[in-house]
């Protein structure tokens, strides 16, 4: 047993030394300005080996870091020969998300451990990359390439979800401008559930030069401008105060995409947040009215069939029942619309007719 324990200890020691060797190789190559083909191969070999050897938290963090950074090493190895496509590979949504995650995880670990190996470099790199992505997205927007701009703003959000919630908002707006309503639905659903909208804060201050209220990316940015004397009267606004407006847009998008049940529930949620919003009231009324009316699409056809079947009692009765069932199905939507706005003349007429056809004369009489 002692020999077995000794062997296990020896193996663990060998693995630990191996990990340190791999880390040294990776750190050395990562720090180089010029990457040779040999460096690239050594980096890949060391990174692959470290994935299976890493056991300590520190080693696991840096194993993931070096693995994720491999595409940047590949690009660096090409130097001046790198093509535009080589560079654009770093802007693929999957890589941008992984890149952001590994930067934040590494920064968090180094803050916790107190050992700043890459902290300063990564903070700078993170800021530069965000500025670069934002500039490209803005340029696409300015040239009316709204769908492409939306995709980049969304990537900017996935790169840094904690600080780039506004980029998700931009992605939503641009998807609508691109008239890609399926994409807009997906993005607005994510935006409605996001921490940025539900718990975030937007920072404002007045520009002394022109008196306009301006928005800042962070409290620190605003504090800096106020300290410089260019701005005054800071104001914090909870983003959740805008949630009803976001849900209103999402409900309209659901309607556009013929997802009426989702539109109904979204309007209901929005009206709880803003019960006095007249636009929301009109929107919810319209969705229920339209939904009920859509269920009566075959009404004229059935009436014509009824009129031509008076000599066939069996068929006549079947058609009358079919018409009644159709109105019974539409009735809850008309009743809901009536509870929202009882003054609409068209609705009152169709609701009264629905009650009469479904055998509810007393309810029909109550509609004035």
Helix (H) or strand (E) holding 264: helix 260-273
Q: Where are the beta strands (DSSP E) in 30-102?
A: none
Determine, yes or no, domain membership for 243.
no
In DSSP terms, which residues pair with 213 in a beta bridge?
A: 206
**CB of 268 closer than 8 Å to CB of 261:** no
Closest CA to 153 of 24, 138, 145: 138
Determine, yes or no, domain membership for 120.
no
Q: What residues in the chain have per-residue pLDDT under 50?
A: 1-18
Determine, yes or no, domain membership for 26.
no
Instruction: Supply 171's token pair.
Output: 């992605």
Determine, yes or no, domain membership for 233.
no
Q: What is the pLDDT of residue 291?
A: 94
Number of Cβ atoms within 10 Å of the Cβ of 361: 10
Q: What is the pLDDT of residue 19?
A: 57
Q: What is the pLDDT of residues 311-353, one digit of tens each?
A: 898 999 999 999 999 999 999 999 999 999 999 999 999 999 9
Domain count, the chain: 1
Q: What is the pLDDT of residue 7?
A: 42
Closest CA to 185 of 272, 247, 277, 92: 247
**CB of 126 closer than 8 Å to CB of 186:** no
**CA angle in degrees (0–180, nearest 5) for 358-359-362:** 120
CA dist 135 and 141 (Å) reads 10
Determine, yes or no, domain membership for 266.
no
Closest CA to 191 of 216, 217, 164: 164
**CA angle in degrees (0–180, nearest 5) for 110-112-113:** 65
Closest CA to 65 of 32, 22, 36, 124: 22
Instruction: Supply 54's token pair.
Output: 């890493």
Q: What is the pLDDT of residue 41?
A: 93
Whole-model pTM?
0.84
Closest CA to 255 of 221, 287, 207, 216: 287
Determine, yes or no, domain membership for 1.
no
What dihedral angle (degrees, nearest 10) is formed by the CA atoms of 176, 178, 184, 190?
-100
**CB of 361 closer than 8 Å to CB of 355:** yes
Determine, yes or no, domain membership for 190.
no
DSSP state of 35: -
Tallying the residues shown for the chain, one arrives at 368
Determine, yes or no, domain membership for 300.
yes
CA dist 296 and 333 (Å) reads 12
Q: What are phi and psi of 290, to 5 degrees?
A: -65, -40
309: containing domain: 276-364
């Amino acid at each position: 047993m002692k020999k077995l324990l000794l062997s296990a200890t020896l193996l663990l020691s060998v693995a630990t030394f191996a990990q340190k060797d791999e880390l040294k190789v990776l750190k050395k190559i990562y720090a180089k300005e010029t990457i040779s083909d040999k460096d690239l191969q050594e980096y890949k070999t060391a990174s692959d080996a470290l994935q299976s050897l890493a056991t300590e938290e520190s080693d696991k963090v840096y194993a993931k870091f070096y693995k994720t950074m491999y595409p940047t090493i590949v690009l660096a190895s090409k130097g001046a020969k790198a093509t535009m496509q080589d560079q654009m590979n770093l802007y693929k949504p999957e890589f941008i998300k992984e890149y952001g995650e590994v930067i934040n995880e590494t920064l968090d670990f180094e803050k916790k451990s107190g050992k700043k190996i890459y902290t300063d470099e990564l903070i700078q790199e993170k800021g530069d990359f965000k500025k670069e992505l934002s500039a490209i997205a803005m340029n696409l927007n300015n040239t009316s390439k709204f769908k492409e701009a939306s995709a980049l703003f969304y990537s900017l959000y996935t790169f840094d979800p904690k600080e780039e919630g506004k980029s998700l908002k931009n992605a939503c707006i641009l998807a609508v401008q691109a008239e890609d309503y399926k994409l807009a639905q997906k993005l607005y659903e994510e935006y409605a559930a996001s921490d940025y909208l539900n718990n975030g804060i937007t920072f404002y201050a007045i520009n002394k030069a022109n008196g306009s209220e301006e928005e800042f990316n962070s409290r620190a940015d605003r504090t800096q401008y106020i300290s410089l004397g260019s701005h005054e009267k800071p104001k914090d606004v909870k983003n959740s105060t805008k949630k009803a407006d976001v849900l209103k847009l999402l409900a309209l998008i659901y309607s556009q995409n013929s997802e009426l049940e989702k539109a109904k529930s979204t309007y209901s949620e929005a009206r709880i947040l803003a019960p006095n919003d007249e636009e929301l009231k009109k929107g919810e009324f319209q969705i229920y009215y339209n939904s009920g009316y859509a269920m009566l699409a075959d009404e004229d056809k059935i009436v014509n069939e009824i009129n031509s079947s008076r000599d066939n009692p069996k068929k006549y009765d079947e058609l009358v029942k079919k018409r009644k069932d159709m109105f019974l199905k539409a009735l809850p939507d008309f009743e809901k619309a009536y509870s929202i706005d009882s003054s609409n003349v068209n609705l009152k007429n169709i609701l009264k007719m629905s009650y009469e056809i479904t055998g509810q004369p007393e309810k029909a009489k109550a509609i004035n």
